[in-house]
A and B are shown apart, each in its own frame.
Chain A
Amino acid sequence: MIKSRQKIISVIVVLIFGFVLLYAGTDEFTAFTSETARVNGLIENKPEFPAVTLEDSEIRTYTFSEFKDKYVFITFMYTYCSTVCPKLEMNMSHVYSQIPQKYLGDDIVFLSISFDPARDTSAALDKYKGYFNSDGETWRMARIPDKKDLEMLLKEFGVIVIPDGFGNFTHNSAFYLVNKKGKLIDVMDYKKVDEAAQKVLTILKETGE
């Protein structure tokens, strides 16, 4: 009798341990991949866009304060990318086209940031922006020439970029929304275009009133 009680106790202990382990390991069963965990963490922590220098397709250089008092809709990409980035930028252009003209430039700016500054020169970005009807003004494409700056930004925004040794990169993709104070407020699924556009529009309408 005593033996079987111990048997039951040990089973219960193991089950409790297992539950706690899986519960803690998945942030209360909300994040089964580290990508979800990363996005949840970003939205919670709202990191600030660091003071890095950008150089855009029009060869203008500025820091993020250029976009003071504007929302900034950001993606991270590189122009040599043949897999995810064209899709990412295409989806970004669909979001862009859903934003009424009156907001563009004044209340919100779209910004594609390249993490391959060696190859993505202003000329390359200028050519690339043509494929997506980016005007270079309300939707800018820029690189971060300084390596340390770039690394800092990628780290702050949790963008993981792994070179594969053949000139390509493995990287995670998402839409990033930064508020008027330069703080990251949302990371959205880049495959859900309408959902992202709706979210941005709601925010713009709220602040417009």
Chain B
Amino acid sequence: MKQSVFGLILFFFLMLPPVADLLESIMIFHMHMQMPLLIVAGFLMGKFFLLRFPAFLEKWNEDGIAGILLFVVINLYWMLPRTMDEALSVQMIEIFKFVSLPFLAGVPLRDSWMKLTTAVKNAVIILFSFLFVGLGLVYTLSPVELCNNYLLKEQVTLGWGFLTMAACFIVYLIYTLVVDPSKYE
């Protein structure tokens, strides 16, 4: 339960206007700090939902596939350059960000991840590696501003952020492929 409380505190902390403004003022903070932290807040709060609605989750998210799909869909949506812009200019979209990332991405991730088979987990990481490489290239190579609220220079920084994340995923995938942890136990 302690985790859920921490998640809730983190969630409210991120919602504080000065904190939100600061994180949203820099493009890479917006996409690679605020949004993941909202998912983390949801992930921590997920414990509460797991304890509260075990039957529902067991029934409708038995093998974690539906939950992880929801997680992927919400992430896809927030990776569109347009949604990042609109979160700043349209209040409804900003509210949707603070609801969807914790509760429709963080919570399902918590419920689903342990239920998934290793193959599906790796498939998810491979999918995100491809996505991040693609987006990284789009953001670093685009000659025009994709977001009206941010400078071109920030966009390139964000692109490198995506590429770095993708590199981490790929390193992890190679590691799981070549290293057998049971040998070292």
Query: A34 and B77: CB pair below 8 A?
Result: no
B-contact 0/1 string along A1-32, CB 8 Å cutoff: 00110110111011101100110011000011
- Closest chain-A Cβ to B30's Cβ sits at a distance in Å of 14
Query: A22 and B76: CB pair below 8 A?
Result: yes
Contacts of B149 in A (CB 8 A): 160, 162
Q: Does B168 contact A (CB under 8 A)?
A: no
Query: B82 and A32: CB pair below 8 A?
Result: yes
Q: Does A33 contact B (CB under 8 A)?
A: yes
Q: Does B13 contact A (CB under 8 A)?
A: no
Contacts of A137 in B (CB 8 A): none
Q: A3-B59, A10-B61, A162-B149 are in contact. Are A26 and B82 (CB under 8 A)?
A: yes
Q: Does B3 contact A (CB under 8 A)?
A: no
Query: B80 and A32: CB pair below 8 A?
Result: yes
Q: How many residues in B have their beta carbons less than 8 Å from beta carbons of A? A: 28
Which of B62-70, B157-165, B169-177 lies on the face that meets chain A?
B62-70
Query: B89 and A34: CB pair below 8 A?
Result: yes
Q: A11-B69, A17-B70 are in contact. Are A160 and B148 (CB under 8 A)?
A: yes
Query: B81 and A32: CB pair below 8 A?
Result: yes
Query: A7 and B147: CB pair below 8 A?
Result: no
Q: Does B85 contact A (CB under 8 A)?
A: yes
A36 to B146, CA, bound (A): 9
Most buried by B among A7, A9, A34: A34
- Closest chain-A Cβ to B184's Cβ sits at a distance in Å of 36
Query: A15 and B69: CB pair below 8 A?
Result: yes
- Closest chain-A Cβ to B175's Cβ sits at a distance in Å of 30
- Closest chain-A Cβ to B132's Cβ sits at a distance in Å of 17
Query: A18 and B73: CB pair below 8 A?
Result: yes
Query: B65 and A11: CB pair below 8 A?
Result: yes
Q: Does B151 contact A (CB under 8 A)?
A: yes
Query: B66 and A14: CB pair below 8 A?
Result: yes
Q: Does A170 contact B (CB under 8 A)?
A: yes
Query: B145 and A22: CB pair below 8 A?
Result: no
What are 12 of the A-B contact pairs (CB < 8 Å)?
A4-B62, A18-B72, A18-B76, A21-B73, A25-B80, A26-B80, A32-B81, A32-B82, A33-B80, A37-B82, A160-B149, A172-B145
Chain B interface (Cβ < 8 Å from any Cβ of A): 59-63, 65-66, 69-70, 72-73, 76-77, 80-83, 85-86, 89, 144-151
Chain A interface (Cβ < 8 Å from any Cβ of B): 3-4, 6-7, 9-11, 13-15, 17-18, 21-22, 25-26, 31-38, 160, 162, 164, 170, 172
Closest 4 pairs between A and B when the two form their complex, measured CB to CB: A18-B73, A34-B85, A10-B66, A10-B60
